[in-house]
Structure 1
Amino acid sequence: MEQAIKELIEHTNQKLSTLPPGNRLLISVSGIPGSGKTTLAKKVSEGLNAISKSGEVAAMIPMDGYHLTRAALSAMADPIEAHARRGAPFTFDPVSLKLLIERVKAPLGGEGGEKIIYAPSFDHAVKDPVENDIKILSSQRVLIFEGNYLSMGTDVWGDIARLFDELWFVEVDRGVARERLIARHLKAGLADTREAAAKRADENDLPNGDYLVANGLKPHRVILSVEDQDYARGG
């Protein structure tokens, strides 16, 4: 996997070198829950910054900040179902996400150009988004967005996917993803037992992944996720 990441860093750096100074390169990293997309996006972003001769040129923006709040889920017609299915497409705010991507896609510099754009993060302790928590600087010309549905072709998600210059998809064995999800749910306190964690993976996470695969656009790159310690931590 390290070789694949090295190649992605080299490819992205080369593509950046051919861009006009006022343009950004927007990349999405998607995949089913447990695929390791968060880890990959982070490593590529860090790798680009490590080889940059002009400061921090890359940033990773997680889609997690666009989760609907718990209060918003509670206000839905079926709040029990909404909370149980948190992580499904209908529990996100894709319209606001699309607005952010349109803002960062606008040409840099010039009159009226934005120096800093803010994106929301997600606080796993309180289990809700935090507004304006991630700074996107004008020097950061490679923006790597990561999230399950960033290559999906349906409704607003399809409009979002088509804003990216490249769609990367992290492919993973379903059994590997399931084991990662079980470990993650136990560690995060979302389940008290392995049985409960497996139930959450089987009834929410993996069906969400199936929906993405069934409705996804063709990615520009497919990266195979293998079982290792780094990839077990996120994505």
Structure 2
Amino acid sequence: MESHVQRLVDQTWGKFQKCDGSQRLLIAISGIPGSGKTTLAASVCAGLNKAYHTHYHEKYPNSPDRSQPDIAFVVPLDGYHLTRKQLSEMPNAEEAVFRRGAAFTFDPHSYLDMVEKVRRPIEPESRTIFAPSFDHAVKDPVANDISIPPTARIVIFEGLYTALDEDGWRDAHALMDETWFVDADIQTATERVAKRNYAAGISSSYEESLDRTEKSDMRNAREVLEKRLPVQEIVPSVEDESWKSEEVDNMEKNLRQLEDNGIEVDADDDEEDGADLRKQRMSRMDSIALLAADGVGM
């Protein structure tokens, strides 16, 4: 049976064929925490780039493999988190810090500004557009860290609020060619988020992680569901190996290898060796890998 990813890749590739050289195809992927937005975005992006390079090589068989740059790129919403400093200066600072990840702890207008830039026609003088990323080690955005070159023809935006009916988010949603929503039930998503946050060392125990997830992440989930704008695709969230890109699959194998070797780093481990291992593990657990850890990424 054709996987959800392959269907979306084929469908998107077909629509891209109808774009002229000045047009970009913009897709937003939304869903509640733990639904698998990030893994889906990464896998569809990889599939589209593979389709492009295969198509190019068939058209120009004597060209070197991958002689052309990728055309599909992913921009996560993570980079549009407000910084810890900005949160600490809010009137409700304590709540804002605890609820980090809620819509009010993001900067939707900066996100809209970037989407507007990407939406403009590509011209000979067009230059690279830069979007922020999020550094999980320092827990803050990194400005101008994601490059969207003029050769980027398909841009996938993924995050909780890409289909939220609120100021800023609503306007960015209107600029998309398509919006997809990854459908997951609350209970399954809660368990996935609690597991990934515990694996990342955000909480000192699974029980603590589960409690925090229910009080924070799932409050965000209800807002995402209650204020969802129209979407063109509802994608079932499934634990399907075919969703995982090679990068995600390798991340999962690395984590399991650590566990098989008996290497485990507790959240409160302050020994030098433990801290180094923990730092290495966190550096690998980016927003894609966090979803893949322990097989809970979908």
Query: How would you bin the TM-score normalised by the shorter chain?
Result: over 0.9
Deviation at 1:194, TM superposition (A): 1.4
Superposed counterparts of 1:119-158, under 5 Å: 119-158=131-170
RMSD of aligned alpha carbons: 1.6
Which of 92, 95, 99 is the aligned partner of 2:109? 95
Q: CA deviation at 1:55?
A: 3.5
Deviant stretches of 4+, over 3 Å: 228-235
- Structure 1, residues 103-160: CA drift from partner, whole Å, max 9, x if none? 00000014xx432111000000000000010110111110000000101112221111
Greater per-residue helix proportion: 2
The percentage of counterpart residues that share the same residue type is 44
User: Aligned partners of 1:14 and 1:59: how far apart in 2?
Assistant: 17
Query: Do structure 1's residue 30 and structure 2's residue 30 form an aligned pair?
Result: yes
2:231 maps to a residue whose letter is: P
**Structure 1 gaps, min length 5:** none
Q: Which secondary structure does the structure 1 equivalent of 2:160 belong to?
A: coil
Measured against aligned partners, the alpha-carbon deviations of 1:22-68 in whole angstroms (never above 9, x if no partner) come to 00000000000000000000000011111112531100000000000
* Structure of greater Rg: 2
Higher RCO structure (Cα 8 Å, ≥6 apart): 1
The Cα shift of 1:190 comes to 1.4
Q: Does 1:84 align with 2:103?
A: no
Is 1:29–1:146's contact at 8 Å kept on the other side of the alignment? yes
- Amino acid of the structure 2 residue aligned with 1:13: W
SS of aligned partner of 1:183: helix
Number of residue equivalences: 233
Aligned to 1:8: 8
Counterpart of 1:62 in structure 2 is 76
Give 1:227 deviation, angstroms: 2.7
Matched residue, 2:178:
166
Q: Which residue of 2 aligns with 1:193?
A: 205
SS at match of 1:135: strand
Q: Which moved more, 1:158-167 or 1:61-70?
A: 158-167
Residue 204, structure 1, aligned to residue 225, structure 2: no
Distance in structure 2 (CA, Å) of the matches to 1:174 and 1:81: 23
Q: In structure 2, what is the Cα distance between the partners aligned to 1:44 and 1:2?
A: 14
| Greater strand content | 1
TM-score if structure 1 supplies the norm length? 0.95
Query: TM-score, normalized by length of structure 2?
Result: 0.75
